[in-house]
Amino acid sequence: MKFSELIGKSKTPSEGTSLSSWNQQNDVRDVIPWVVMLLLFALFTYYLSRPKPEELQKRAVAVLQDLKQLQEQKAEAQALNLLLSHLRDEEDANFTRGISQHLSHALFVACFLILVVEVHSRRSARRDMQRHVDDVTKNVFQGVSQRLLGECISSELKAILLEDFVKENAGYHLTFERLPDGGDTEWIIVQHETWYDIRSLSREQAGFPFRTSLLGYHRQTVAVDGEQVEFPHFVKVEVDNKEVPLKDLEKDDDRLTLFKEFPFPADTSPLKVKVVARFLHRAEDSIVFSSTYAIEKSSVFVSNQLANLVGNPQAVVLHKHTEGVKPRTSGQWEFSRALLPGQGWFVCWEKLNPTVSSRPVQAAAAVTMTPPDNVTMTPPLISVPPSTS
């Protein structure tokens, strides 16, 4: 979480919004009553400045009748005086209405100035104060952490706090599937299935830079059901329970590296990711599952379809509190504590019997451990093999 989030995410008991948002809302609320009063007064003065058609018509009829009478009497001097008198009265009335009209215009302009200038200046001042508080918080945290933990540890902790994403409910599922054609018991085909939920820690819903790679694993081509298959290879990638074509994710025509930025759902819910890949492992081997992002909760599942050849799978969490691992049943491990970037799981297995058929062991002899229904039916979606992000 970013340092600014440490302050900006503080909640008010009534509204559940951030402190800065709550203050900005209060700024608007303070201005609204004055704006409403000015608008009402502006409308009232504008109404007073409008001439009434009925009065204009009555005055015009009265002037016309007076002029006709004077013309009939051939009193031109009196007619001229009457016309000047009416014009003077009209000018006085227009002067009063003009003042009301100008006043209403001024009030309308004042309302816009208050909305544009006052609110903007308050928000600018608020942002400056927030920036100042953030700077003070950073300096205080850096000073205290370096004093108590040391500069190296403080730098690592700062990098974690500045991270924009975190993984939830990460799961790793290994399935020992079969042997390659030919009965060579040195190698076994293993499917890796990884899932996780990505949650954004920043206020801006930036896209998640999904990246995974199969580099660093045994690269070999073996026969499977009479066909030459190159290992390792991706099987599928799912994002929000929708399969994404692998061609759309390959980076620079490298089939061992997938990369793409995925936008978050409109409802800001966690982004679900799942990756399935197949590998060649030795009959007695080990693997490490880790992540470049922090993981809030994780689990490991092992399904064994080669029970006559491979056995005794063990999973150890790469964390200080290894006693926190809870084996639910054989082949299933859970760890409810958080894993920091670089931490993860170490999984190993042993070779039992080298004399096994090249075909998969019969289901009756296989020992298969699968994730519970609440995991497979709604998979959190995965992080990739060991060295992936």
Structurally, how many domains does the chain consist of? 2
**What value, to the nearest 5°, has the Cα angle with vertex 99 and ends 98 and 105?**
90
Q: Among residues 151, 179, 206, which one ends one of the domains? A: 151
Model confidence at 161, pLDDT cuts 50, 70, 90, reads confident
Name the domain boundary from 104, 124, 151.
151
Do 135 and 176 share a domain, yes or no?
Answer: no
Which domain CATH number covers 340? Answer: 2.60.40
In a domain, 158, yes or no: no
pLDDT computed for residue 351 by the predictor:
92
pLDDT of residue 374: 38
Task: Note whether 237 and 288 are same-domain residues.
Answer: yes
> How far apart, in whole angstroms, are the C-alpha atoms of residue 101 and residue 107?
10
pLDDT bucket at 47, cuts 50 / 70 / 90:
confident
Of the candidate ranges 18-22, 61-65, 145-149, 212-216, the one whose mean pLDDT is the lowest: 18-22
The reported pTM is: 0.58
For residues 219-224, give the mean pLDDT. Answer: 92
Q: What is the pLDDT of residues 339-376, one digit of tens each?
A: 999 899 999 999 986 554 444 443 333 334 444 443 33
178 within 8 A of 355, measured Cβ to Cβ: no
Residue with more model confidence, 58 or 225 = 225
Q: Are residues 225 and 78 in the same domain?
A: no
Q: How far apart are CA 69 and CA 79, in angstroms?
A: 9
Helix 151-161, helix 119-149: angle, nearest 10:
140
Output 275 or 217, whichever has higher pLDDT: 275
Q: Which residues contact 359 (CB under 8 A, 6 or more apart)?
A: 178, 179
What is the per-residue pLDDT for 253? 78
> How confident is the model at residue 91, as a pLDDT?
65
Residue 255 has pLDDT above 70, yes or no: yes
Same domain, 141 and 187: no
- Please tell me the predicted confidence (pLDDT) of residue 147: 73
Instruction: Write the pLDDT tens digit of every residue in 278-327.
Output: 999 999 999 999 998 999 999 999 999 998 999 999 999 999 888 889 88
pLDDT for residue 127 is more than 70: yes
Q: Are residues 147 and 174 in the same domain?
A: no
Question: 303 exposed, middle or buried (CB, 10 Å; 0-12, 13-18, 19+)?
Answer: buried
**DSSP 8-state secondary structure symbol assigned to residue 265:** P
Q: For position 4, what pLDDT does the model report?
A: 42
Choose the most confident range, by mean pLDDT, from 108-117, 129-138, 168-177, 366-375.
168-177
Q: What is the pLDDT of residue 299?
A: 94
* Model confidence band, residue 117 (pLDDT cutoffs 50, 70, 90): confident
Which residues form the domain of 271?
165-376
Please report, rounded to a whole number, the percentage of residues in the chain having pLDDT higher than 70: 71
pLDDT on residue 377: 32
| Same-domain pairing of 144 and 42 | yes
In this structure, the answer to whether residues 22 and 145 fall within a common structural domain is yes
Residues 222 and 245 placed together within one structural domain of the fold: yes
Q: What digits encode the pLDDT tens for the residues 68-92?
A: 766 666 666 666 676 667 767 766 6
The band of 43, judged by pLDDT with boundaries at 50, 70 and 90, is: confident
pLDDT value at residue 353: 64
Note whether 147 and 181 are same-domain residues.
Answer: no
As a whole number of angstroms, the distance between CA 239 and CA 39 comes to: 52
Q: How far is CA 119 from the centre of its chain?
A: 28
The answer on 232 and 359 residing in a single domain is yes
- Among 122, 151, 180, identify where a domain stops: 151
